[in-house]
Amino acid sequence: MKAELINPFLESARVVIEQVANVRPSTGQLGVKEVVISEQYIWIQIGMTGQMEGDIVFGLHEDVAKKVVSAMMGGYSITEMDEMSKSAISELGNMISGNASTMLFNQGVVVDITPPKLMVQAATEAKKALTIPLIMEGIGELDIQVLIA
């Protein structure tokens, strides 16, 4: 697993979050850890095919997801993750992954991405992933996890 594979997703997430949520995120520590889907978290899974096979998973605590959606909607208060909120947070994952796939293409790596799959409280087997948190001041963390086959 190469650390440079996560960089396009990290850079894309910074740019997209700054545009849609009006906050400049900082980067946490890069590491490898076991990914376990846990309660009170929202997970956005994007599949990749082509020269890079695997999944990108964005994880946010539900409270963080509500704050991000609120910021995306111009400050409108979000109190629950209803269908509109889930659609907005899925689209955030889609925008980040779309930009990242363009960056990868510009580096000579051709990938296609699947539509986002939203997972809330799902039981899955633990998998090792290259992971890095993106810290959004006043909002919380977005965990970017790359699972490459």
89-145 confidence digits (pLDDT tens): 999 999 999 999 999 999 998 999 999 999 875 545 567 777 888 999 889 999 888
Alpha-carbon radius of gyration of the chain: 14
Q: Check pLDDT > 80 for residue 2.
A: no
Residue 36 is predicted with a pLDDT of: 66
More confident residue, 35 or 109: 109
pLDDT band at 6 (very low <50, low <70, confident <90, very high): confident
Task: End-to-end CA distance of the chain: give it in Å, rounded.
Answer: 9
The whole-angstrom separation of Cα 133 and Cα 31 is 9
Are the C-beta atoms of residues 43 and 119 closer than 8 Å to each other?
Answer: yes
Q: Which residue has the higher pLDDT, 125 or 34?
A: 34
Q: Are 144 and 6 in contact (CB under 8 A)?
A: yes
> pTM for the whole thing?
0.86
The domains of the chain, with CATH numbers, are: 3-148 (3.40.1550.10)
> What pLDDT, in 10s, does the model give residues 47-96?
999 988 888 888 889 999 999 999 998 888 999 999 999 999 999 999 99
